């Protein structure tokens, strides 16, 4: 099982960080390898996942959506029903428990949509750790609800003014904080990106999504699905769903954000339209100019608005293990509508990208086939943005 000793997935991954952080990454890897398989840790984590997060989340057969699309049977993995409203809590809980065992007293994180920030702030409150969340001012504007939630949970939201004032810039400042306070602070990285061991740790903590879904579907139908669909920002909800099926004959589709279109300057389709390089500690695909400067990403969904992607996805892409596609802001909005009206579920704008792609995917399958889509989060945080955007895009209908 990858990564290798150097934190590599094929040519991707690694640890491209300042020397100050190298010992912290080595310490984190050592602690993770030592602790995460012990019965005490596993018991503690699964107790919290069950009684606190509310796992297992349902695998819901979406009858109306299935009928509407007229292709495969569509099952929805309901990560939106996890405590705090997204899959992010699976990872923050695992890392929080790990950090406490490592003797760290403070958690920091970057956030785009605010979901990872909320999930980190929640775990900090639960475990009695202090917490600072870095968030771009553009995202603070777009995800006001989550900013309020983080404040109520006792975390400090630190506004980030640099660059595009979104997730990438928040991550720069979170890393700068960690470089400065590394001795007592744990950096709760929010996706399967960044330097080794984060892509591995976050994958492992999110793998519960696919483990549950696989068992739930087998119990119910005795079958494996034909295809899994998930949105990809950094890639954690997708990797969390895919991981348990990696040796099965199951197709993986990761849906990136095409923003205004992958042929414009305004998208976040890193795997679909990017090139390889180093960003935030990992060698992977990214959006960059010919001189190696990182380009600003765009997506209506703040959690996908990031010019990088986790290294294991890069490896999946090159190996052909997963396909990566992209849907536009407008398509995502129609995905948002589709799920809201057919099933009475408001999806997060990020997850709405995965829903939207089902429309393109459905004609490839018949009613005997099964597709599982990951509903990575709930849409409450996005209702203002959706209402605003609808007024603009209504003309387009």
Partner 1 sequence: MRRIDRVFKQLKAKGEKALIPFITAGDPDLATTRALALEMAARGADILELGVPFSDPLADGPTIQAASLRAMQGGVHLEDVLNLAGELRAQTQIPLILMGYYNPMLQYGLERTAAKAADNGVDGFIIPDLPPEEASPWRVAAAKAKIATIFLAAPTSGAERVRTLGRLTKGFLYYVSVTGITGARTELPPDLAASLKEVRALVKCPLAVGFGISTPEQVAALAPYVDGVVVGSAIVQRVARLRGPELIKEVGDFIAALKAPLRGK
Ligand X SMILES: Cc1ncc(COP(=O)(O)O)c(C=O)c1O
User: Is 376 assigned a catalytic role?
Assistant: yes
Q: Which is nearer to partner 1, 14 or 335 (CB)?
A: 14
| Sheet order of strands, 12-13 included | 8-9, 12-13, 282-286, 275-279
Taking CB within 5 to 8 Å according to partner kind, which of partner 1, ligand X, none is near residue 303? ligand X
Indicate which of ligand X, partner 1, none lies near residue 131 (CB less than 5 to 8 Å, by partner kind): none
Instruction: Tell me the closest approach of the beta carbon of residue 80 to ligand X, in angstroms.
Output: 8
Residue among 115 and 284 whose Cβ is closer to ligand X:
115
Helices (H) and strands (E) in the chain, counts: 16, 14
SS3 call for 89: helix
Query: Could you check whether the bond before residue 3 is cis, i.e. omega within 30 degrees of 0?
Result: yes
Torsion of CA 377, 301, 358, 84, to 10 degrees: 0
Q: How far is the CB of 387 from partner 1 (least distance, A)?
A: 33
Judged by beta carbon distances under 5 to 8 A according to partner kind, the member of partner 1, ligand X, none in contact with residue 392 is none
364 an active-site residue?
no
> What tokens were used for 133?
């969340």
**CB of 7 vs partner 1, minimal distance in Å:** 9
Specify the residue, 207 or 232, whose C-beta has the smaller distance to ligand X. 232
Look at strands 156-160 and 130-136 and give their pairing. Answer: parallel
Angstrom distance (rounded) from CA 313 to CA 365: 24
Query: Smallest gap, in angstroms, from Cβ of residue 268 to ligand X?
Result: 10
79 catalytic per annotation = no
Catalytic residue among 88, 104, 168, 381: 88
- Taking each helix axis from N to C end, the angle separating 329-343 and 383-393, rounded to the nearest 10 degrees, works out to 110
| Site of interaction with ligand X (CB under 6 A) | 86, 112-113, 115-116, 191, 231-238, 303-304, 348, 350-351, 376-377
- Applying CB under 8 A, which residues contact partner 1? 6, 14-24, 162-163, 168, 172, 175-176, 179-183, 277-281, 288, 290-294
Q: Rounded to the nearest 10 degrees, how much is the dihedral formed by the CA atoms of 233, 238, 243, 249?
A: -130
Q: Which does 293 bind (CB under 5 to 8 A by kind): partner 1, ligand X, none?
A: partner 1
259: left (phi over 0), alpha (psi -120 to 50) or beta: left
Catalytic site residue from 68, 110, 138, 312: 110
Show the tokens assigned to 181: 């306070």
Compute the least distance from the CB of residue 19 to ligand X, in Å.
Answer: 28
Among all residues, which ones are annotated catalytic? 88, 110, 376
């Amino acid at each position: 099982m990858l990564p290798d000793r150097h934190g590599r997935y094929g040519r991707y991954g690694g640890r491209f960080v300042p020397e100050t952080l190298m010992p912290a990454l080595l310490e984190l890897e050592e602690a993770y390898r030592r602790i995460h398989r012990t019965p005490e840790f596993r018991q503690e984590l699964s107790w919290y996942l069950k009684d606190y997060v509310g796992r297992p989340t349902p695998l819901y057969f979406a009858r109306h959506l299935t009928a509407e699309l007229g292709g495969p049977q569509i099952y929805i993995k309901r990560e939106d029903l996890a405590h705090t409203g997204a899959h992010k809590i699976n990872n923050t809980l695992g890392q929080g428990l790990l950090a406490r065992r490592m003797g760290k007293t403070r958690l920091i994180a970057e956030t785009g949509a605010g979901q990872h920030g909320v999930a980190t702030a929640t775990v900090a409150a639960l475990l009695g750790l202090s917490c600072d969340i870095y968030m771009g001012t553009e995202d603070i504007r777009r995800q006001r609800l989550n900013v309020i939630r983080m404040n109520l949970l006792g975390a400090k939201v630190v506004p980030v003014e640099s660059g595009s004032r979104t997730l990438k810039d928040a991550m720069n400042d979170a890393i700068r904080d960690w470089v400065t306070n590394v001795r007592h602070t744990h950096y709760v990285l929010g996706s399967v990106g960044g330097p080794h061991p984060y892509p591995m740790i976050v994958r492992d903590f999110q793998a519960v999504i696919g483990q549950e879904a696989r068992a739930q579907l087998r119990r119910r139908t005795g079958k494996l699905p034909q295809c899994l669909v998930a949105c990809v920002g950094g890639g954690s909800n997708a990797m969390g769903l895919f991981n348990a099926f990696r040796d099965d004959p199951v197709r993986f589709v990761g849906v990136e954000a095409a923003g205004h279109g992958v042929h414009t300057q305004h998208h976040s389709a890193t795997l679909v339209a990017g090139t390889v390089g180093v960003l935030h500690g990992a060698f992977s695909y990214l959006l960059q100019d010919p001189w190696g400067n990182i380009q600003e990403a765009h997506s209506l969904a703040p959690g996908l608005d990031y010019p990088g992607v986790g290294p294991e996805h890069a490896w999946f892409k090159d190996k052909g293990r997963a396909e990566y596609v992209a849907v536009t802001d407008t398509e995502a909005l129609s995905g948002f509508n589709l799920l809201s009206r057919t099933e009475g579920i408001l999806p997060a704008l990020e997850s709405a990208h995965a829903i939207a792609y089902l429309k393109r995917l459905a004609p490839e399958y018949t009613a005997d086939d099964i597709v599982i889509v990951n509903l990575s989060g709930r849409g409450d945080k996005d209702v203002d943005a959706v209402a605003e955007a609808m007024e603009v895009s209504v003309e387009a209908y």
